[in-house]
Amino acid sequence: MGNILLEALNVRVVGSGEKILVLAHGFGTDQSAWQKILPFFVPYYRVILYDLVCAGSVNPDYFDFQRYTTLDAYVDDLFNILDALGVDRCAYVGHSVSAMIGILAAIKRPDLFSKLILIGASPRFLNDRDYHGGFEQGEIEKVFTAMEANYAAWVQGFAPLSVGADVPTAVREFSRTLFNMRPDISLYVARTVFNSDLRGFLGLVKVPCCIIQTSRDVSVPESVANYLKDHLGGRTTVEMLDTEGHLPHLSAPALLAPKLRRALSR
């Protein structure tokens, strides 16, 4: 029945390479976010694409509000997919929430991953005593209230902010996928993400990581990238991307793809 899971999460395997690459999208997008990145890797990798259960392209009935209370459930989904496909080792590219998922997954099954590439990753989005995550609890509550009040309006405002760079196509694409998410699911996932705190166990990650950080990201301050670099247990590098926004794979694919390739080949 593994194929039902693969079907439900729209798992797609493309490409002709031997090595396996997983592209995992972040909050508010679905696998289509990788569309412009994909051609760069198809000749060299078997690329696995899937949708997180919260994505708008997945039947919302699969989103179980009691199962997906923490990121662990998403990690289980990832493992299930990889197991169903018979993958025993892969490189993993995760954006935003998927970066968190990747970190968790790499702790639980380090042998499965040869490399983690984390785009717009953050171990914790909220500020703490001596940690700057970028968001204050109060701010985030306001965001949640705004999401509840009028999701459409929130999307309209949030998408350009998040994309950052002035790329209308990217904004439109992100708005679309964001809006595709059922509002309650979207809010629920956002809460899950903002409640998560991975700082306590970053050191347990032994897989080599590459953090890709854009020069200005509304969701992830630059200090976070350095925090990750300092705390992740494996060999970790930070790649700065000379563009703005939280979604470089949408807004600057031509810039990101070569970076990814280099990071992967190392």
At 59, the amino acid letter reads N
Closest CB 56 distance from another protein, rounded Å: 7
The string over 163-181, giving b where at least 16 C-beta atoms fall within 10 Å of a residue's C-beta and e elsewhere, is: bbbebeebbebbbbbbbbb
250 contributes a contact to another protein by CB under 8 A: yes
262 contributes a contact to another protein by CB under 8 A: yes
Q: Which of 111, 139, 230, 242 binds another protein (CB under 8 A)?
A: 242
67 contributes a contact to another protein by CB under 8 A: yes
Which residues inside 117-136 make contact with another protein, applying CB under 8 A? 124
169 contributes a contact to another protein by CB under 8 A: yes
265 contributes a contact to another protein by CB under 8 A: yes
Identify which of residues 138 and 168 has a Cβ nearer to another protein in the complex: 168
Closest CB 28 distance from another protein, rounded Å: 14
Closest CB 156 distance from another protein, rounded Å: 10
Which residues inside 5-44 make contact with another protein, applying CB under 8 A? 5, 7-10, 30-32, 35-36, 38-40, 43-44
157 contributes a contact to another protein by CB under 8 A: no
Which residues inside 69-128 make contact with another protein, applying CB under 8 A? 69-73, 76-77, 80, 83-84, 100, 104, 107-108, 124
- Which of the ranges 86-94, 113-121, 216-224, 242-250 carries the binding residues for another protein, by CB under 8 A? 242-250
Phi and psi at 49, nearest 5°, equal -115, 140
Neighbours of 146 (CB within 10 A): 14
Which residues inside 206-225 make contact with another protein, applying CB under 8 A? none
How many residues at the interface with another protein, by CB under 8 A? Answer: 97
β-strand pairing of 113-119 with 90-95? parallel
Q: Which of 27, 50, 135, 179 binds another protein (CB under 8 A)?
A: 179
Q: Which of 200, 223, 230, 235 binds another protein (CB under 8 A)?
A: 200
